[in-house]
Amino acid sequence: MPERTQSAPRIDEFDIRALPKAEVHIHLEGSFALIDILTLAKESGSALPGPASTIFDITTHGAYAAPEVTTGGGSGVGAGGLTGFLGFLDWQCGLVRTREQAARIAYSFAARQSSAGVRYSDVIVNPTHWNAWRGRELELMDAFAAGFDDAEQDGLCVTNMAYSLLRSQSAIEAEDIVGALVAARPRRVVALSVDGDEKVSGRTGEKFQNAFAAAASAGFHRTVHAGESSGPEGVWDAIDLLQAERIDHGVRAIEDPALIKTLIDREITLGVCPRSNVSLGIYRDWQSHPLPRLLDAGVAVTLNTDDPAPLGTTLDADWAVAATEFGFTYDDLAGFAERSIDASFANDDLKATLHSELQTTIAEHS
C-alpha cells in the first residue's frame, strides 16, 4: 500500500463514485430516505414522532446529533443514544405494511447505493424491526427481492440480503429461522447474520452455534457483528463458533495480536464503519480509529457506512472523509474498492466483471 500522509491532496468525490465497488456492511433498516419515511407515514395515517423538521435532522444530519424525538413508546432518538436509535428504526420499519411498500423500500435502497457509486451490496435485514411482518418474515424477504429485481433490471445496484438474527433471540428461534431459510431458499437471501448490542446481550456465539452450522451446511454465507462494543473475544467467538467468513465491525481485534494473525491467516475480512464507531462512542474521533493500523498490520479491511441515513452520510462521503482524515491516496481507495468486491457475496461472474471495470477505471484515472 502506498505510504499515507496527512497532507495528501483531497480526492474528488466524483472520482470516488466512479470506482466500481461493493458495500458489505449496511443495514436496510438504516437506509430510509426522508421521502421514504414521510410517504410511508402519510400512506399509513401514522403521526410523525415529532415535527417533520426533526425527522429531517435525523435523516440528513444524523440521529445521534439530532434533537430528542419520542416515539409512541417513549424512546428518544439523538439524546436517547443507541436505545433511542433502535426505537426509531422500529418505528420507521413498522410503517412498511404492504408488499408494494416493502418492494419500494428495496428499490429506493438500490437507487441510493447507485448514487454513491456502489455496484453491489450485501444488505443486512433484521426482520425483528419490521413488526407488521411477524410470522410472515419470508414474505417480507420475497417482497424486498421483488424490489431488488426491479432495480437490477433498471440498471441499479445489484443487491442480495443477509438475513440477520437478533442477539436476544433464543437458540431455538435461531435454529427454526435457519430451518425455514433452508427449506424455502428465499430469493436473494445469500447469508446468515447476527446483530444487536453485544454489550447488553453478552457473548452469544455458543447459543447460535448450531444455527450457523446448519446455515453453513446448506451453503449460506456467514457474516457476524462482533468486536464493536465487545472486545476481541466477540471476534474469536464469531470465527471459532459461528464459522464467520466476514466480520461486521471487528475493530477491537486491534487489541489482540493473535487475533490479527488469525484474521490474516484465514483471510477473514473486516467490514469497518468508522463514522458509526465514532458516533456511538467506540472511538472518540476519526483520528483515534484503528482503521490505518488494521491495514498496516495486513488485515483485509473494507470501508462501509453501517446505517447511513440516521448517521447522515453516504459511502462516497465517508470514503472522502477517510481520505482526508487518514491521508489515503487514490490508490488506497482503489484498494478498498478491490477488497470490497473480493469480500462481497456476489457471484463469481459479477465479481469478475467488477474487477475488470475497476482496473479500467484505475487505468483511465492514471
Asked if 115 contacts 153 with a C-beta cutoff of 8 angstroms, the reply is no
Active site residue 228: yes
Q: Point out the catalytic residue in the list 23, 29, 228, 338.
A: 228
* One-letter amino acid of 3: E
Query: Burial code of 1-37, b = ≥16 C-beta within 10 A, e = fewer?
Result: eeebeeebeebebebbbbbbbbbbbbbbbbbbbeebb
CA 272 to CA 266: how far, in whole Å?
18
One DSSP character per residue, 169-209 reads S-HHHHHHHHHHHHHH--TTEEEEEEES-HHHH---TTTTH
DSSP assignment string, 209-252: HHHHHHHHHTT-EEEEEESSSS-HHHHHHHHHTT--SEEEE-GG
Helix axis angle for 137-153 and 99-115, nearest 10°, is 50
CA dist 118 and 22 (Å) reads: 6
Give the 3-state secondary structure of 103-134: HHHHHHHHHHHHHCCEEEEEEEECHHHCHHHC
Q: Which three cell numbers stand for residue 151?
A: 432495480
Catalytic residues: 228
